[in-house]
Amino acid sequence: MGRVLMFQGTGSDVGKSLVVAGLCRALTNRGFRVRPFKPQNMSNNAAVTADGGEIGRAQALQARACRVEPSVHMNPVLLKPQNEIGSQIVVQGRVVGSAKAREYQAWKPRLMAQVMESFALCKAEADLVLVEGAGSAAEINLRAHDIANMGFARAANAPVVLIGDIDRGGVFAQIVGTRAVLDPADAAQIAGFLVNKFRGDPTLFADGMARIEALSGWPSLGLIPHFAGARRLPAEDSVALDRPPPPGDGAATIVVPHLPHIANFDDFDPLRAEPGVRLIIAARGMPLPSADLVILPGSKATIADLKALRGEGWDIDILAHVRRGGKVLGLCGGYQMLGRSVADPQGIEGPPETVPGLGLLDVTTVLGGPKTLTRIAGKCLGAPFAGYEIHVGRTEGSAPPLLVFDDGRRDGAVSPDDRVRGCYAHGLFGVDAQRRTWLDWIGAKASGLNYEVEVEETLDGLAAHLERHVQVEALLGLAR
């Protein structure tokens, strides 16, 4: 039966997911059987497991760091936001319903049993389970019936390491303030803290670490310098999309509109890694910049995002882009938007309605039926691909297909002039030969990047980084 150690944060995007991924690889390299676990996740970036379930993308990366297949039990509760106040609820890989934020609080007590069941299954096959919390450990307004942070830690008797982010400022208040607002019994679960994303000479912050120790009463377990390679690993929080694009010196420009419910945006990480590509995530409130290719991304709420796209005037920008000879690709929800219409007769995403699409592909979409969750492989544009499908609805029409699966099924659509393409497949750009065909389509120069090798090397680099700057032996001593 494995030991357990939990990592919670002073807020979102403090680096919990990457710290856990790096420690998963470091301890796996030491010969331990390690498993990641996140009781509750909120993300529209999902991965499909081998048995046709879905979990948060971060836990799939952490499983990869452990060199094991991802399992639905590594993330038993996944919340997928559909609007400002409500989310789809996925339990042990399957959609079980939707709820508004207030309604979801009533779900938590009955979900805890399934969380603990999945945790026991992960623990049974591991020497060590590294648990990632969600958001902030100090969300005391959500403490009743909590299953994501201290509620789980107390139920599992898991020691907690608190992670603060010095890069965003206020790290003293982050950590000491967390101690101040926590219930004493919850505070007693915390066994130490880490300060993440430090830049500069670490010796200059030695006094700062000592001050945090004195004020919080918790021991320091490490000051982690900023890890530049983090940008090469899939991000889960959409705040990562707000980073500025690289300089455009001679690079082909690919623009992705930042839709309110953008999903599975790790599709674009391999393109971002190409030195000959300038990937721009276009912020709302601005026109779409000039581009060689516009990609409409996946969406958790296709109709709402299609309306938002029109509200920004981006539909006008895209149609003008095509008239000028520009090219467009739609992925999953973005593919649905490119057709003649999107219908939601059952009210899956909101009130039942049918809305016109952009009319760039001769297809129509009807939302409904069982959710498609499957890994896929085949050929697209003459090159092999592998990835996954994760969507609700069927898209049909007379346009020629874009890709062919290994079992002979066909998917996607291509416009008569081949300027507009769309499909349900996620993960196309992660396959090097496939990515080259898309770069050729827009006249961009491929670099010879081996993306999967780069991810592996980055995980190993992250593990070595944490071995240098974190008291790993002390962490192992805390696990119980």
Whether 294 and 320 share a structural domain? yes
Whether 82 and 150 share a structural domain? yes
Strand ranges in 92-189 using DSSP code E only, listed in sequence order? 94-100, 128-132, 160-165
Question: At residue 301, what are phi and psi to the nearest 5 degrees?
Answer: -145, 85
Q: What is the pLDDT of residue 171?
A: 97
- Indicate which residue of 73, 321, 426, 469 is catalytic: 426
Whether 221 and 265 share a structural domain? no
Whether 304 and 216 share a structural domain? no
Any domain includes 247: no
Q: What is the pLDDT of residue 6?
A: 98
Q: What is the pLDDT of residue 239?
A: 54
Question: At residue 436, what are phi and psi to the nearest 5 degrees?
Answer: -65, -35
Q: What is the pLDDT of residue 240?
A: 57
Q: How many domains in the chain? A: 2
The parent domain of residue 28 ranges over: 3-232+457-478
CA separation for the pair 317, 97 (Å, rounded): 36
- Indicate which residue of 24, 66, 122, 332 is catalytic: 332
Q: What is the pLDDT of residue 16?
A: 97
Q: Residues near 402 by Cβ (< 8 Å), separated by ≥ 6?
A: 380, 381, 411, 412, 413, 414, 421, 422, 423
CA distances from 305 to 286, 349, 394 (A): 16, 11, 18
Whether 435 and 472 share a structural domain? no
Whether 317 and 218 share a structural domain? no
Whether 260 and 226 share a structural domain? no
* CA nearest to 384, candidates 421, 436, 420: 436
- ∠ CA(37), CA(39), CA(44), 5° rounding? 95
Contact assessment for residue 422 and residue 334, using Cβ atoms and an 8 Å cutoff: yes
Whether 132 and 206 share a structural domain? yes
Any domain includes 411: yes
Q: Which amino acid is at 343?
A: A
Question: At residue 71, what are phi and psi to the nearest 5 degrees?
Answer: -130, 150
CA separation for the pair 174, 176 (Å, rounded): 6
Q: What is the pLDDT of residue 241?
A: 64
The residue ranges of the chain whose pLDDT is under 50 are: none
CA separation for the pair 209, 112 (Å, rounded): 36
Whether 10 and 81 share a structural domain? yes
Q: What is the CATH number of the domain that holds 346?
A: 3.40.50.880
Any domain includes 237: no
SS3 of residue 458 by DSSP = helix
Tell me, yes or no, if 380 is annotated catalytic: no
Any domain includes 240: no
CA separation for the pair 430, 440 (Å, rounded): 15
Q: What is the pLDDT of residue 290?
A: 96
Q: What is the CATH number of the domain that holds 137?
A: 3.40.50.300
What's the farthest any 2 CA atoms get from each other in the chain? 69
Any domain includes 448: no
Q: Are strands 394-397 and 420-423 parallel, antiparallel or unpaired?
A: unpaired
Any domain includes 244: no
CA separation for the pair 74, 76 (Å, rounded): 6
Tell me, yes or no, if 145 is annotated catalytic: no
Any domain includes 243: no
* CA nearest to 39, candidates 13, 66, 58: 58
Whether 181 and 286 share a structural domain? no
Whether 258 and 211 share a structural domain? no
Question: At residue 192, what are phi and psi to the nearest 5 degrees?
Answer: 170, 180
Helix pair angle (302-311, 314-323), 10° resolution: 80
Whether 93 and 209 share a structural domain? yes
Measured between alpha carbons, how far apart are the two ends of the chain, in Å? 10
Any domain includes 418: yes
Q: How many CA atoms lie within 13 A of 217 on its CB side?
A: 9
* CA nearest to 17, candidates 69, 65, 66, 58: 58
